[in-house]
Structure 1
Amino acid sequence: MNTIIQRIEPPFWYFGMNKPEVQILFYGKNISEYIITLEDSTALTNVKRTVNPNFIFVTINTQNITTNEIYFKFQQKNKRSFIQKYELRKRRKDSALRKSFDASDCVYLLMPDRFANGNPNNKNDSNTTEKYNRNLPEGRHGGDIQGIIKHLDYIKKLGATAIWSTPLCEDNDANYSYHGYAQSDVYKIDPRYGTNEDYVILVEKAHQCGLKIIMDYVTNHWGIEHWMVKESPTADWIHRFENYTETNHKRSTVSDINASKIDRTICLNGWFVPTMPDLNITNPLVFNYLYQNAIWWIEYANLDGFRVDTYNYSEPEFIAKWTKAITDEYPNFNLVGEITMRNQSLLSYWQKDSAIAKIQNFNSNLPSVMDFAVSDALQMVFNEDDDRWDQGITKIYDHLSKDFLFPNVNNLMIFGENHDTRRLHHIYNNDIRKYKLVMSMLATMRGIPQLYYGSEIGMTGDQNLGDADIRRDFPGGWNDDKNDAFTKEGRTEFQNTLFDFTSKLFQWRKTNKAIHFGKTTHYIPENNVYVYFRYDNNQSVMVIINNHPEKQELNTNRFKENINHYTMAKEVLEHHIFKLAENISIEGKSALILELA
């Protein structure tokens, strides 16, 4: 790179993209004073200068370029000139048609800083501010990409088929940088996690293990330490107010026909927190930057999907356009948006082709949303022994009765907990029975199940003590840990009971297509017992969830329309056989998952 140019983004690009044009950012002292030319002048389609003379945006059309390297000539008027090489790479075979994650998958969510330290030599870096301090709950604890690679077999053995890691790009905040959501460079893996090349190796090794990699992508905000927040190309690169203004988090204002303009504006343009400035995605330069960065990571790292953070905090028209640009390039690519809303109609508004959103001529183009309504219910119902009207397991029944609101229920992400919620084992006080009930439902309900790291070994934490308490270190991820829960020998009896159950359940789930993409029929709960069937033309699964503390007896005549011609059922974990013409007994606070035959 020429000494005058300090940054080029994207650092390289690819031939054969659906959209052949790419806008390249060159950054350097007074770079905009230079006239830029290409030997093939037809390939250079636009040069955009901004109020900041240190930035220039150059658009080229790659369609007719046949060489892997092109050379930009930078010429000052009657003064010096220099040449800058730019690389164009060949895409992987069938890159555009890559298969993504879907309802046949089980997603394992981990926080890399808290999962495992595989390389003790990268705990600190001279170019990042916050240093390693495992004694500080909110500090950097040293987990990294190598730690994930080291334990891919563990994740696979658990029954997961995809990994969602919280952001791995550089977060150079002075404090609380471990979570990664205040990114300071979105083209660079945080050096305390490893290198860009390490990330590519992670994806390659995951694919070799039959695991997919989902990147956590943030469109709404960057960190206060991002180099383009410190020095922006334009005055409106981020949203600015006369006084610091934080989002009101009222995302219902987006679809609310009665919402005031100021409330909607503050929701969408207000900063997430003081260290996370709000990006102005309506600025064409910002939009292109975010779109190209997302495409670049998909191509470069060979990714299998995105989880998009704070999806509906961005201007709706433009985040929908951003999403469509990605799915136009990759028709099978799945993106799941964080829509932290508990009302099903508001959640469904944000899934692609929503009939509710269509009333307002809006389509998010977002294939999947996170089902926070079901998550909230899973976090409370198994502590409710009474099923009066809207209590107990009836909450789940009532939520699923609104599935008609969603264009694609099988593509909803379902979960009992994640890195922003209460921990299941804290809520349920390490009651194995209740944990098994949650897992049994996640494994058999419609949607894409997501597990949160450590739940399978009983990790707990009290959110009232701060987010760090629900993001503890995985035992065994560090050489000096007293027990290694990554191994059977290192786990306690309690931990093995949880792990073995979870592993057996989700390994079975891989085998049943009716669970993945089938239909659902459910029955009104009685005595806090909920029965539902998942089925397609070839298979049928009967799920019995007994949320009553005592044993219950079910008369199977009530379920004839789904039992139909089946006479026998095999319980999927212990393989007990049930005759469907007879009553079925089920222990208190337990589940039965029966494959009909």
Structure 2
Amino acid sequence: MKNFSLGILLVFSVMAQAQIARVEPPFWWEGMQRDSLQLLVYGKDIASYEVDASAEMPILEVTKTENPNYLFVTINTASVAAGDYELRFQKEGSPQIKQSYSFKERREHSALRKGFDNADLIYLLMPDRFANGNPAGDSHPKMAEKADRTKPGGRHGGDIKGIIDHLDYLKDLGATAIWSTPLCEDDDKTYSYHGYAQSDVYNIDPRYGSNEDYVQLSAELHKRGMKLIHDYVTNHWGLQHWIIQDLPTRDWIHQFDAFTNTNHRMTTQFDPYAAQIDQKIYEEGWFVPTMPDLNQSNPLVLNYLIQNAIWWVEYADLDGLRVDTYSYNHKQGIAKWTKALMDEYPNFNIVGEVWLHDSAQIAYWQKDSKIGALQDYNTHLPTVMDFTLHDALDKIFVEEEQWDQGVTRVYENFVNDFFYPNPNNILVFAENHDTQRFNTRVKGAFEDYKLAMSLICTTRGIPQVYYGSEIGMQGDKNKGDGDIRHDFPGGWPADKQNAFLPQSEKNGRNAYQEQYFNFSKKLFNWRKANPVVHSGKLLQYVPDKNLYVYFRYNAEGDRVMVILNLNRKKQTLDLKRFTEGLAGHKQGLELLTGKALQLTDTLPVMPRTSMIINLTR
């Protein structure tokens, strides 16, 4: 019961054990912005009981559904103080059932917590593939899938303790925030390691650890001045979710006469000419047969998801959410969900996965979008993902510059920033857990990795890097998702090599890995210490001969010149062209080489090279 109880003392009578199996949320907090709380009470025929509460915890409404095993009890929490309370369930001819419920004190300034922002560098990791801190927990008697590292799509045993054990590595690297793919319970028989088919959204998967371990991860990150971003799934659960096994209402999930796959055409969400059937199949179709599609237009579902997300933010002291398949949800429902979170935590941040290939279409989903306003729609979503920049990085290293190809794709991407209400609050990345590994895309070319990371770390937005790239890790998505999600070398006790350790230590990084790590560490830590690339203005120049130049500058007088030469030939810049960007600066210190530069007439740039120059007068 330890993991399920989450530290709350739930008192059951003998009869209650037979009647009440779950109450969710399992506890709540005093002083929340929301002045009501809807408890899901689950137990055999519980709807045949009437509900009464203590005077200090008044009931506003009791909702019954077609399933007699559920009651939804709405409580007025406006004046409820921290403490233990009691719900009473009564039925003529049956003993009274008493259920205790707790409200806790909030952390100081919890409502004003600051989310991740453009001062951060986010490190995306898959916990099952990062590090195994507790091999004894790799398999669990109550969970269907057991650990087997020989299977690319199987569970490999990484866990929360493994992440905690390597936080100093991540801090040394220069990461300031962690985004972990989902850690909640996923009891699918196979491929459960990715965590996106959750079977219980109030409990951490026991193979990763406990809820208490997750809270410890958050606390350990905060000790180091780092942040924790929780991967949240609003669109679907797994078929093994306990609620899916006994639905409160038929329309808790979207259902068709036969299994219907989503058509993945998210453009139907805003296409003014879209056929209703296309839009319906997109939004209500399932990803796969094992991932039932949740119906956010059902108020009970939406409220459950809102409360669950708030619960995790408050319980685990989170610094942000990443929302999976954001644009697949019911449009109005996901907007209400997002607004509820941001109303509760006005300085928080949420990034939504909107996997589109057009800047205007992505911008539609950002908060206060003028494009969305044309359809009287506002997501309230602070951050979206720059998939068009990712698309550009997928092509530019194999193209020579033409009118609309080569590094010009990157330039044109930023030209389109006028679509976005807040270009600085966009996630920029070269890869993630669903895309081709960048180092495989460029065939292990170290110079191309340096060019891509130089761009990601110096342009506008919030940079996100993918675990293992900092040591040159490769993987081919054409061989399956398991190949882009390899185990981090050294994360398992039996590993012969430990890439968490420097080359100078026994079994540490090899020379290939070390050059990647040293470059990444220098760049990431430089970015951390230079606010001008967090929120400074961007000035860019039209590329010439596959060479792209831009500047970041701020009102404090800080100014950085960035040069990305994708040409395979040495080039010489005539600095007169960049007078506006140089703004009278005649000297600079180049970050990657440490060289002092004179910036008066011309500047030679070596082939396939990036330069990051801190300008001085």
> SS of the counterpart of 1:279?
coil
Q: Deviations over 1:19-71 (max 9, x none)?
A: 12100011111011111101217711111111101110101112222350110
Aligned with 2:251 (options 213, 236, 239) = 236
For the pair 1:284 / 2:299, whether they are aligned, the reply is yes
Aligned to 1:75: 90
Q: Which amino acid aligns with 2:536?
A: G
Aligned with 1:94 (options 89, 96, 109) = 109
For the pair 1:519 / 2:519, whether they are aligned, the reply is no
Counterparts of residues 9-408 of structure 1 (less than 5 Å): 9-40=24-55, 43-66=58-81, 68-384=83-399, 386-408=400-422
Determine if contact 2:29/2:104 at 8 Å carries over to the other structure.
yes
> SS of the counterpart of 1:542?
strand
Determine if contact 1:122/1:191 at 8 Å carries over to the other structure.
yes
Aligned to 2:578: 559
Q: Which amino acid aligns with 2:47?
A: S
CA distance in 2, matches of 1:473, 1:143: 8
Determine if contact 2:561/2:615 at 8 Å carries over to the other structure.
yes
Relative to 1, partners in 2 of residues 1:44 and 1:378: Cα closer, same or farther, differing over 3 Å? same
CA distance in 2, matches of 1:214, 1:371: 18
CA distance in 2, matches of 1:527, 1:419: 33
> SS of the counterpart of 2:229?
strand
CA distance in 1, matches of 2:75, 2:425: 37
Aligned to 1:479: 493
> SS of the counterpart of 2:541?
strand
Aligned with 1:429 (options 412, 435, 443) = 443
Aligned to 1:469: 483
Q: Which amino acid aligns with 2:243?
A: M
Post-superposition offset of 1:137:
0.8
Aligned to 2:431: 417
Question: TM-score, normalization: structure 1?
Answer: 0.99
Superposition misfits of 4+ residues, deviation over 6 angstroms: none
CA distance in 2, matches of 1:380, 1:159: 28
Aligned with 1:529 (options 547, 551, 558) = 547
Aligned to 1:501: 519
Post-superposition offset of 1:265:
0.4
Q: Deviations over 1:78-106 (max 9, x none)?
A: 32112110000010000000011000000
CA distance in 2, matches of 1:111, 1:55: 35
CA distance in 1, matches of 2:281, 2:568: 47
Determine if contact 1:189/1:195 at 8 Å carries over to the other structure.
yes
Determine if contact 1:353/1:407 at 8 Å carries over to the other structure.
yes
CA distance in 2, matches of 1:44, 1:306: 31
Determine if contact 2:82/2:105 at 8 Å carries over to the other structure.
no
Q: Deviations over 1:219-251 (max 9, x none)?
A: 000001101111110110000000100100000
Aligned to 2:596: 577
Q: Deviations over 1:291-319 (max 9, x none)?
A: 00000000000000000000000011110
CA distance in 1, matches of 2:396, 2:79: 60
Q: Which amino acid aligns with 2:587?
A: M
Q: Deviations over 1:481-535 (max 9, x none)?
A: 1100000031001100000000100100011111101111111111110000111
CA distance in 1, matches of 2:527, 2:207: 36
CA distance in 2, matches of 1:503, 1:381: 25
Post-superposition offset of 1:582:
2.4
Q: Deviations over 1:429-479 (max 9, x none)?
A: 111000100010011010100000000111111111100100010000001
> SS of the counterpart of 2:231?
strand
CA distance in 1, matches of 2:406, 2:94: 78
Q: Which amino acid aligns with 1:226?
A: H
For the pair 1:443 / 2:462, whether they are aligned, the reply is no
For the pair 1:589 / 2:608, whether they are aligned, the reply is yes
CA distance in 2, matches of 1:184, 1:218: 12
Q: Percent identity?
A: 53
Which shows bigger deviation, 280-289 or 510-519?
510-519
Determine if contact 1:43/1:64 at 8 Å carries over to the other structure.
no
> SS of the counterpart of 1:402?
helix
Determine if contact 2:56/2:80 at 8 Å carries over to the other structure.
no
Determine if contact 1:422/1:470 at 8 Å carries over to the other structure.
yes
CA distance in 1, matches of 2:217, 2:427: 24
Determine if contact 2:20/2:43 at 8 Å carries over to the other structure.
yes
CA distance in 2, matches of 1:37, 1:157: 55
Q: Which runs of 5+ in 2 are unaligned?
A: 1-10
Relative to 1, partners in 2 of residues 1:549 and 1:20: Cα closer, same or farther, differing over 3 Å? same
Aligned length: 596
> SS of the counterpart of 1:80?
strand
CA distance in 2, matches of 1:184, 1:119: 22
Aligned with 1:510 (options 501, 518, 528) = 528
Aligned to 2:5: none
> SS of the counterpart of 2:252?
coil
> SS of the counterpart of 1:390?
coil
> SS of the counterpart of 1:236?
helix
> SS of the counterpart of 1:578?
strand
CA distance in 2, matches of 1:235, 1:355: 37
Q: Which amino acid aligns with 1:17?
A: M
